[in-house]
Amino acid sequence: MRLMWTGGFRGRVEDADRIPVLRSGLAPVAAQDTALSWVGHSTYVLRTGGAAVLTDPVWSARIPGVPRRLTPPGVAFSELPPIDAVVISHNHYDHLDAPTIQRLPRSTPVLVPAGLGRWFRRRGFTEVVELDWWQSAEVAGLTFDFAPARHWSRRGPRDTCRSLWGSWVITGPRHRVYFAGDTGYGPHFAEIAQRYPGIDVAMVPIGAYDPRWFMKPVHMDPEEAVQAVADLGATYAATMHWGTFVLTREPVVEPLVRVRKAWREAGRDPEQLWDLAVGESRVLTA
């Protein structure tokens, strides 16, 4: 009721044309290197150790209850390489998109939170790995560790928190990356750093945070995201969860402005902030 009285969820979109978009396709990457390409929202194409991984894949123009996508997917689905694994952070519609999932070969390995495997098996997927926090699995020469997050899960009126939610640590032959999924700020970042030292790149959400009295427990703001990267001990930060769907009140470009300012004020090297345009890639060499 308070949300409705104070203006609801949706923010202003007048400056949506300022969201940077760079749809240049996926450049070749050497097997010993790691490349991250931002498709939009929380979807990344991660190529590392000779394998290709999708995070929370969403290619749909619309998801239930949310206005139409602001920016096109940064990588066309038809341009994707063969996908060796998919990781899902939780089952909210902006992270688990059924139309996109249906486009994947049913033999694609999917790694999901505990309680979510049945959703995939019912759709014909044959290689489904369910993990609890701190459990791990090896797929395509990579190690996938499921770690905590401060969030929740629900897809319908009667399944609130019936499946788990979390983040992923993905370790290849030369690099270790972290995918935060969707999360509020908390001590779990420091615990993840202690268990998985040497994170090279952390993919962290910077949007969907306003109003803070409502969103703070489950979504970080840009300043908290910068602190989370420090807690993780990550060398690089790759931003996400902004500029794609209008979920909350903040102006659509504000997360980018604020994360750049917070990064600078933290004294971090600007080259280590991967504030990617939609469709842009960065490569971490061996």
pLDDT by residue (tens digit) across 124-181? 999 999 999 999 999 999 999 999 999 999 998 889 999 999 999 999 999 999 999 9
Which residues have a Cβ under 8 Å from the Cβ of 135 and sit 6 or more positions away? 145, 146
Q: What is the distance between the alpha carbons of residues 191 and 188, in angstroms, rounded to a whole number?
A: 5
What's the token pair of residue 128?
Answer: 């489904």
- What is the DSSP-derived secondary structure letter of residue 220? -
Mean residue pLDDT of the chain comes to 95
| Burial of 127 (C-beta count, 10 Å sphere; 0-12/13-18/19+) | middle
What's the mean pLDDT in 2-29?
80
- At 226-281, the pLDDT tens digits run 999 999 999 999 999 999 999 999 999 999 999 999 999 999 999 999 999 999 99
179, containing H or E segment: strand 176-179
The domains found in the chain, sorted by start residue, are 32-280 (3.60.15.10)
Q: How far apart are CA 135 and CA 45, in angstroms?
A: 23
Distance CA 22, CA 83 (A): 22
- Asked if residue 269 lies in contact with residue 275, where contact means CB atoms within 8 angstroms, the answer is no
Dig out the tokens for 62 from the structure: 């619309």
**Would the CA dihedral through 14, 17, 18, 20 be positive or negative?**
positive
DSSP per-residue codes, 60-112 = -S--TTSPPPSS--SS-GGGPPPP-EEE----STTTS-HHHHTTS-TTS-EEE
Q: Which helix (H) or strand (E) holds 44?
A: strand 43-48
Q: What is the side-by-side order of every strand in the sheet holding 128-131? A: 128-131, 110-113, 85-87, 51-55, 43-48, 34-40, 281-284
Confidence of residue 5 (pLDDT cuts 50, 70, 90): low
Burial of 158 (0-12, 13-18, 19+ CB in 10 A): exposed
Q: Which pLDDT belongs to residue 12?
A: 73
Tokens of 55: 């995070």
Distance between CA 260 and CA 203 in Å, rounded? 15
Q: What band does 13 get if pLDDT is binned at 50, 70 and 90?
A: confident
